[in-house]
Amino acid sequence: MKNQALQDRKNKVFARGQGNMYPVFVDHAKNSEVWDVDGNRYIDFGMGIAVCNTGHAHPKIVEAVKAQVEKFSHTCLMVNPYEVAVELAEKLTKLAPGTTEKKAIFLNSGAEAVENAVKIARAYTGKRGIIAFNGAFHGRTNMTMGLTGKMAPYKNSFGPFPSEIYHVPFPGAAYGVSVEDSLKAIKNLFKYDISSDDVAAIIVEPVQGEGGFYPAPIEFLQALRDICDAHNIVMIADEIQTGFGRTGKMFCMEYSNIEPDLMTVAKGIAGGYPLSAVVGKQEIMDAPVAGGLGGTYGGSPVACAAALAVQDIMKDEDLINRSNEIGTLFHTRLTALQAQYPELISDVRNKGAMIAIELMSDGDKDKPNAALTKEIIAHATAYGLILLSCGFNSNVIRFLPALTISDALVNEGLDKFSALFADLVKK
């Protein structure tokens, strides 16, 4: 078996910390299907953790990347810039929510985008404190681990973390926290831990990703906007997992009619090529001195070319509307599954094609079923599926299908998932 042989080789040379969920090594992939080195086929409901919104190996992205590589692959955006980066920045600044004039910077990963958003906020305000939320995930660098509101496995044994980071409860029924509770916690923070006059930014995911696909209530986001306006605090929207049509809008903040000051984007931006960005209000983005932002590979011309192709695909194939259609189909099928297993599935939720089911034990929502969640993930490939889990209590199955997936593949995949679920419950 080639998969096992490759896993054995990997285990000898990769650090344990960079493990892999499945001992399945990819040979090739197309749209929403993946084939491993042993010839097995899988329906991909994870898409590289919401990266390949336009599917695997989309022909237009392949063509754009080939054309760019034939010209040049790297010069460093800070040394000799190039038109594909300028064109992409022009498009992103127009797509970003709100009417304020925007600017952008390009980086490599979501964590880098968050890190730089914090730098920009501090440079603009001259203040130090950053407020984040319990259950949040913002990355794996030292700063972004500090912002992340979940200990295992992301923060365990990696401290100390940067100072002047403060966490407050995120509102949601799963946490037993109301909007009023969360807002009161921020007010108390200003009283007891750090003055509002010394807070540079509040960072929030419009839908918590790793935290469990919990949406931030619209009234909560609007209240955060008011707090930021009242105290000269920069509002950072982390749209790394929610962006580029994933939630049925180009960016999820559009649902709340909120214009964030800064927005971090990555994942779905470039169809699988490493690229991220911070997009924000011009005055704030220009606060750091010249040379204060950047990186050797940030804004790779190859990744920028792929990202421009992604924008064309989204428009030509109407992928934002398709995201909502996919979400409706998943929700219908998964709600029917919930009706079959009301004692095990406590919730089915989606925002566009960002879909989740939450698992419980004995019909009790206060008893998260992490064990069944783990079993589902462990057996998924035996049923021809690639699945992901998440959740503050590790009891959520998340579905992140390509926005280019067909109804037939959705239904085939959910048939497989239903069979997997039924077989595990019988044991």
Judge contact between 23 and 7, C-beta under 8 A. yes
Q: Tell me how far CA of residue 154 lies from CA of 18, 150, 151, 222, 392, in angstroms.
A: 12, 7, 6, 29, 12
User: Is 45 part of a structural domain of the chain?
Assistant: yes
Token code pair at residue 61: 């992205």
Which pLDDT score, from 0 to 100, does residue 195 have? 97
Domain shared by 202 and 130, yes or no: yes
* 10-residue stretch averages of pLDDT, the chain, 427 residues long: 95 94 96 98 98 98 98 97 98 97 98 98 98 95 91 78 94 91 98 97 97 96 98 98 98 97 98 98 97 96 98 98 98 98 97 98 95 98 97 95 98 98 91
Report in angstroms the alpha-carbon separations of 60 from 70, 156, 373, 390. 16, 41, 36, 32
Task: Answer with the one of 316, 350, 385 that is the final residue of a domain.
Answer: 316
Mark whether 78 and 38 lie in a shared domain.
Answer: no
Statement to judge: residues 126 and 152 lie in one domain: yes
Q: Tell me how far apart the alpha carbons of residues 115 and 154 are, in angstroms, rounded to a whole number.
A: 16
125 and 7: one domain? no
* Residue 254 lies in domain: 72-316
Sign of CA dihedral 45, 386, 136, 96: negative
How many domains does the chain divide into? 2
Of 45, 210, 189, 48, the closest CA to residue 129 belongs to 189
| 62 assigned to some structural domain | no
pLDDT per position as a tens digit, 41-53 = 999 999 999 999 9
pTM: 0.96
Q: Are residues 267 and 327 in the same domain?
A: no
State which of 259, 290, 316 marks the end of a domain.
316
Contacts of 371 (CB under 8 A, 6+ apart): none
Q: Domain for residue 67, yes or no?
A: no
In this structure, which amino acid lies at residue 224? L
17: left (phi over 0), alpha (psi -120 to 50) or beta: alpha
Question: What's the sign of the alpha-carbon dihedral 320, 326, 332, 334?
Answer: negative
Q: Is residue 404 part of a domain?
A: yes
Q: Which of these three, 316, 348, 369, is where a domain ends?
A: 316
31 within some domain: yes
d(CA 372, CA 110): 30
pLDDT single digits (tens) 269-307: 999 999 999 999 999 999 999 999 999 999 999 999 999
Beta bridge partners of 103: 280
Q: Are residues 341 and 300 in the same domain?
A: no
| 234 and 204 housed in the same domain | yes
Is 65 contained in some domain?
no
